[in-house]
């Protein structure tokens, strides 16, 4: 990838604008008639095996001289009659993101399946107590789910656009894929800016509690509790959650900015800027999608009691003590723990059977 | 065959259900029997009606902080949808050619995109709040969820068909619109037509009794 980008840059910055390529096209009839042989061995007279004008186009595309000419049309790269690097870019796209994206996503999926089979669901010592603590406000959960819904839509439509040609055309045919790709492109472009707005809402809602602090490194060194024995200390957000937050924010911003560059090609950005934006956008999106699969796993079937936090806004105090002991201490000190009955009343439900069992 | 059905009979059927249904519902409200208020009027019913119609556009200051999210999202969604419905170029053209016989200047494409983004974000936030806030969840009915999801699908299919290159996508959008038209008169979506009369009725009742609400 780096090699290809270097070649892009070297082509862009070393080519002088001295040859009028466009004027060559005016000579096309003369050149083509000159290049057609009068007689060819093995074929009847009058039948040619050489494409007329091939020498001209070879000269336009493959010669060693600069390929930028002069045109009356003013704009980015309007002096280039044929950009041969387009083929290189197409090859790069097919050989890299299109090739590696499914591998990365499949690998993540496989790792999680293996992890679940070997480790199972991460439980809580003493099981769920039923006594709850408020973790997220309505607004924070709305922000989280808005971002999640928009991201999922963008991830699905983005993967259709990226991998549709090799994966979907063999399954559904070209006609259906062209329809699906058109719809995906429109939807993807429309929802992109909504993702950026949701991301900024996420940034401002959660940033204060995601600043790294003392003790986070210990969490990292112990692999979040998977390495060695003993409990790993954590605050309101532990090191893993903070890292996930900053991955979302930073890669999300990179994807959003590169996406805006791609979706608005009329602001003077050239081919190289567009190609770099494409690379950032695609690889950023693949990384974010891969890590988000891990996040979805850990937030649902991977860890007991986690999903409740983003569903109702409340989490079990035993879950807090298992994963966020420093915050649990604050909750006890500030008397923020409520009973199962109070929690059920706030949710408008009867006390949950599982919680009653845990309470017993 | 499907194209003929969606562009022809189903379109006219859904339009008829929508028009007759809405008129029926409004007539049932207008002609509903109510007891004559024999009490002595302490204030102007008309003044109260007008006041209530406009004052309800802004939340009461005492509850404003608690409902800030749905007020902002509500305006985003409703204004965005209004702009899309009446000022999107394909809709203006459709209304001119199929219903009204005249048109008006549509909004530019960039404004269409921004309006739809506002509408989508607003609707997603409103529906999520309905699902995530315990009180909203409890008072929400199946009708509320169907109305929100159906509206979202109609908007989404419309935006997916933006390129206008595929008949199938246009038909999908039109089909979902027809489903919405059929569902509309029998659902909470009727608030499109009833929210002004409803406010006026409550305002008149308050005004006559001298209640400052």
Q: Which of A57, A82, A107 is the last residue of a domain?
A: A82
Tell me the C-alpha distance between B15 and B21, whole Å. Answer: 10
Question: Hey, which residues 44-73 in chain B have their CB within 8 Å of chain A?
Answer: 69
The answer to whether residues A22 and A116 belong to one domain is no
The answer to whether residues A100 and A199 belong to one domain is yes
The answer to whether residues A30 and A160 belong to one domain is no
Q: Are A142 and B132 in contact (CB under 8 A)?
A: yes
The answer to whether residues A57 and A107 belong to one domain is no
Specify if A167 maps to a domain. Answer: yes
Q: Which of A33, A50, A82 is the last residue of a domain?
A: A82
Question: Hey, which residues 41-100 in chain A have their CB within 8 Å of chain B?
Answer: none
Specify if A87 maps to a domain. Answer: no
Q: Across the 360 residues of chain A, what is the mean pLDDT of every consecutive 10-residue run?
A: 45 42 41 44 57 77 72 82 80 85 92 89 82 94 96 96 91 93 94 96 94 84 68 85 94 96 84 89 94 92 89 92 90 91 84 47
Specify if A273 maps to a domain. Answer: yes
Is this prediction's pTM over 0.90? no
CB contact under 8 A, B125 and A150: no
Specify if A89 maps to a domain. Answer: no
Handedness of CA A141, A142, A147, A153 (dihedral sign): positive
Specify if A91 maps to a domain. Answer: no
Q: What is the pLDDT of residue A41?
A: 53
CB contact under 8 A, B160 and A150: no
- DSSP, residue by residue, A291-331: HHHHHHHHHTTSBTTSHHHHHTSEEEHHHHHHH-HHHHHHH
**Helical residues (DSSP H) of A207-306, grouped into ranges:** 216-221, 239-263, 271-299
Q: Flag whether residue B128 sits within 8 Å of chain A, measured between CB atoms.
A: yes
Among A136, A139, A142, A199, most B C-beta atoms within 10 A, so best to mutate, is A142
CB contact under 8 A, A348 and B134: yes
Specify if A196 maps to a domain. Answer: yes
Tens of pLDDT along B139-177? 999 999 999 999 999 999 999 988 878 899 999 999 999
Q: What is the pLDDT of residue B95?
A: 93
Q: What is the pLDDT of residue A179?
A: 93
The answer to whether residues A29 and A117 belong to one domain is no
Tell me the C-alpha distance between A250 and A284, whole Å. Answer: 10
The answer to whether residues A69 and A121 belong to one domain is no
- Interior angle at CA B35, CA B29 and CA B37, nearest 5: 115
Among A186, A199, A344, most B C-beta atoms within 10 A, so best to mutate, is A186
Tell me the C-alpha distance between A258 and A275, whole Å. Answer: 10
Q: How many CB pairs under 8 A join A and B?
A: 68
3-state secondary structure of A76: coil
**A179 to chain B: nearest residue by CA?**
B166
Q: Which of A59, A82, A105 is the last residue of a domain?
A: A82
The answer to whether residues A246 and A345 belong to one domain is yes
Cα–Cα nearest to A50, from A33, A27, A26, A28: A33
Cβ neighbours, 10 Å, residue A14: 8
Cα–Cα nearest to B88, from B155, B167, B151: B155
Tell me the C-alpha distance between A61 and A80, whole Å. Answer: 10
The single residue listed with the structure tokens 């170029």 is: B89
Specify if A234 maps to a domain. Answer: yes
CB contact under 8 A, B125 and A142: yes
Q: What is the pLDDT of residue A348?
A: 83
Q: Are A67 and A21 in contact (CB under 8 A)?
A: yes
Per-residue confidence in pLDDT tens, chain B, 213 aa = 888 899 999 999 999 999 999 999 999 988 888 788 888 889 899 999 999 999 999 998 888 888 999 999 999 999 999 999 999 999 999 999 988 999 999 999 999 999 999 999 999 999 999 999 999 999 999 999 999 999 999 999 999 988 878 899 999 999 999 999 999 999 999 999 999 999 999 999 999 998 876
Chain B residues within an 8 Å CB radius of A183: 160-161, 166, 169
Domain coverage including residue A40: 2-82
User: At A109, which CATH number?
Assistant: 1.20.950.20
CA distance B146 to chain A (A): 18
Q: What is the pLDDT of residue A311?
A: 92
User: Of A139, A150, A190, which is closest to B69 when you measure between CB atoms?
Assistant: A139
- In this structure, what are the phi and psi dihedrals at residue A303, rounded to the nearest 5 degrees? -130, 130
Q: How far is CA B171 from CA A56, B1, B4, B149, B174, in A?
A: 47, 12, 10, 19, 5
User: Of B120, B121, B162, which is closest to A186 when you measure between CB atoms?
Assistant: B162
- Interior angle at CA A205, CA A203 and CA A209, nearest 5: 90
In chain A, how many domains are there? 2
CA distance A179 to chain B (A): 7
The answer to whether residues A127 and A191 belong to one domain is yes
- DSSP, residue by residue, B78-133: HHHHHHHHHHSHHHHHHHIIIIIS---PPPPHHHHHHHHHHHHHHHHHHHHHHHHS
Strands (E), chain A: 132-134, 314-316
| Domain B2-14+65-209: assigned CATH number | 1.20.950.20
């Amino acid at each position: 990838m780096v090699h290809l980008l270097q070649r892009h840059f070297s082509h862009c910055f070393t080519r002088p604008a001295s040859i009028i390529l466009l004027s060559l096209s005016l000579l096309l009839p003369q050149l083509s008639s000159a290049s057609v042989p009068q007689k060819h061995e093995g074929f009847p007279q009058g039948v040619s095996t050489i494409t007329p004008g091939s020498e001209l186009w070879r000269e336009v595309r493959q010669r060693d001289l600069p390929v930028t000419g002069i045109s009356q049309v003013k704009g980015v790269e309007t002096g280039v009659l044929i950009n041969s690097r387009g083929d290189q870019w197409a090859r790069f796209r097919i050989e890299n993101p299109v090739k590696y994206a499914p591998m990365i996503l499949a690998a993540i999926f496989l790792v999680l399946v293996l992890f679940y089979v070997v480790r199972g669901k991460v439980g809580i010592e003493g099981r769920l107590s039923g006594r709850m603590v408020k973790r997220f406000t309505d607004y924070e959960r709305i922000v989280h789910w808005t971002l999640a819904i928009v991201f999922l839509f963008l991830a699905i439509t983005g993967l259709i656009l990226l991998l549709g040609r090799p994966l979907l055309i063999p399954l559904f045919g070209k006609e259906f894929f062209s329809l699906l790709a058109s719809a995906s492109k429109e939807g993807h472009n429309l929802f992109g800016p909504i993702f950026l707005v949701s991301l900024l809402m996420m940034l401002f809602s959660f940033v204060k509690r995601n600043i790294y602090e003392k003790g986070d490194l210990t969490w990292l060194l112990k692999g979040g509790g998977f390495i060695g024995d003993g409990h790993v200390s954590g605050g309101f957000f532990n090191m893993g959650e903070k890292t996930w937050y900053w991955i979302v924010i930073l890669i999300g911003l990179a994807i959003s900015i590169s996406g805006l560059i791609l979706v608005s090609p009329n602001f003077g950005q050239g081919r190289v800027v567009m190609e770099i934006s494409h690379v950032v956008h695609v690889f950023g999106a693949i990384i974010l999608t891969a890590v988000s699969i891990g996040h979805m796993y850990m937030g649902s079937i991977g860890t007991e009691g986690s999903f409740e936090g983003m569903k109702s806004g409340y989490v079990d105090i035993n879950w807090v003590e298992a994963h966020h002991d420093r915050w649990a201490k604050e909750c006890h000190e500030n008397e923020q723990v409520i009973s199962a009955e109070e929690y059920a009343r706030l949710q408008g439900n009867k006390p949950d059977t599982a919680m009653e069992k845990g309470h017993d | 065959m499907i194209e003929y059905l969606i562009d022809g009979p189903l379109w006219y059927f859904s339009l008829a259900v929508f028009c007759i249904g809405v008129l029926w519902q409004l007539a049932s409200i207008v002609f509903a029997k109510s007891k004559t208020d024999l009490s002595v009027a302490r204030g102007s019913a008309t003044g109260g009606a007008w006041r209530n119609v406009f004052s309800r556009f802004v939340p009461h200051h005492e509850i404003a902080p608690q409902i800030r999210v749905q007020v902002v999202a509500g305006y985003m969604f409703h204004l965005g949808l209004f702009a899309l419905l009446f000022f999107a170029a394909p809709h203006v053209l459709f209304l001119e050619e199929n219903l009204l016989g005249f048109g008006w200047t549509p909004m530019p494409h960039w404004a269409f995109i921004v309006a739809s983004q506002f509408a989508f974000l607003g609707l997603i936030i409103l529906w999520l709040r309905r699902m995530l806030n315990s009180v909203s969840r409890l008072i929400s009915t199946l009708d509320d969820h169907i109305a929100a999801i159906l509206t979202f699908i109609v908007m989404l299919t419309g935006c997916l068909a933006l390129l206008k290159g595929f008949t199938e996508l246009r038909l999908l959008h039109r089909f979902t619109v027809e489903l919405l038209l059929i569902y509309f008169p029998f659902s909470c979506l009727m608030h499109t037509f009833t929210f002004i009369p409803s406010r006026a009725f409550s305002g008149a009742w308050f005004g006559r009794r001298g209640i400052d609400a």
